[in-house]
Amino acid sequence: MRTPFSLLAERWQPSAAMVRRAAFAALVMSVVIVVTGGAVRLTASGLGCTTWPRCTGDSLTPTPEMGFHGVVEFTNRMLTYVLSAAVGWAILAARCHRPWRHSMTRLGWAQFWLVMSNAVLGGITVLTGLNPYTVAGHMIAAMALVWVALLMWERSKEGDGAPRLSVARPIHQLSYVLVAVVGLLVAAGTLVTGAGHHPGTPQDNKIVPRIPIDYDRLAQFHADFAFVSVGLTIALIFVFAAVKAPPAAKARTKELLAVLLLQGVLGFIQYFTDAPELMVGLHMLGATLTWIAALRIPLALRVREVEEPPIDASAPRTPETATV
């Protein structure tokens, strides 16, 4: 069946390098949307637009009376369209590339539906008055988008052959344990946010609910996952050295350790300085980079070869296609 995508593919065949650039652009925008979403909360602009999908009950855009907070919240909403455009470019590039890699197209569409679902979840967050649990869910959904965007970018640099492990399976599974622990570290951070100093509106606004758990206990809970993450990362560095893991895996594990240590420094500074906005913003960016660094480690422990296209038996045989 001919579709608009197949018709476009007949007229435009982007190079593999363009597919990689498109996938990378989608990844960058997925990180940007996390950081700007944090800026909305840190500038107390979470209810800058009082409803959703409109900014007010009568206006799609912020009114002058809404001031700075309305502009910040509305700008973050508009960046969703930029993100959607980047994801759309990645989908089209993957679909029109020859040979067509269905797995790449599916990863692009997975990003699209994650963007749409997260936009709806963001709307629910506004409509529920910045309920901390929906705010946490909004952040976790954004991290899921980063995961899929990273996977598409990494897959754009390799083939579609069956994955072949470069290390023993238990070591590969250990790398996924590290990913799970880092994921729990990020999730615990959202709970600290839900009980912490920046509810997303001015501090004198008592309407915004907070997680009813002691902030210091949640911060310690979050720090415990950080210690476990650092310990596992150091253990993997020694394991990879012992089993002669691929150089890329060794390098990525050291990168994760560096990011974790930097995050630890930022976390301690913000805790003992009453969580200044700039430090919290940098910590959110660091959380996203930590998640990316952890996810890249298992991907460096397997190889996917480029599959050769099947030879058409009905086509004329040439010296290049003939077999002995």
What are 195-249's pLDDT values in tens digits?
Answer: 888 777 765 555 678 888 888 999 999 999 999 999 999 999 999 999 999 999 9
Kindly state the tokens that stand for 58.
């009568």
Per-residue model confidence (pLDDT) at position 205: 55
Percent of the chain with pLDDT over 70: 92
* pLDDT for 315: 41
What DSSP letter does each residue of 99-163 carry, written as one string? Answer: S--HHHHHHHHHHHHHHHHHHHHHHHHHHTTS-HHHHHHHHHHHHHHHHHHHHHHHHTTS-SSPP
Query: Are the C-beta atoms of 36 and 45 separated by less than 8 Å?
Result: no
Mean pLDDT over 130-142 rounds to 92
pLDDT value at position 321? Answer: 36
pLDDT tens-place string over residues 154-182: 999 988 888 899 999 999 999 999 999 99
For residue range 1-22, list pLDDT tens digits in order.
Answer: 677 878 888 888 999 999 999 9
Q: Would you say residue 311 has pLDDT above 70? A: no
pLDDT of 91-133, one tens digit each? Answer: 999 999 999 899 999 999 999 999 999 999 999 998 888 898 9
Q: Is the pLDDT of residue 324 over 50?
A: no
CA distance 312 to 324: 17
Structure confidence at residue 298 (pLDDT): 96
Helices then strands, counting H and E runs in the chain, come out as 9, 2
**The pLDDT of residue 160:** 83
Of 140, 120, 152, 117, which Cα lies nearest the Cα of 26? 152
What CA–CA distances, in Å, run from 200 to 43, 71, 83, 123, 261?
Answer: 7, 14, 23, 14, 27
pTM above 0.85, yes or no: yes
What average pLDDT is seen over the chain?
Answer: 88
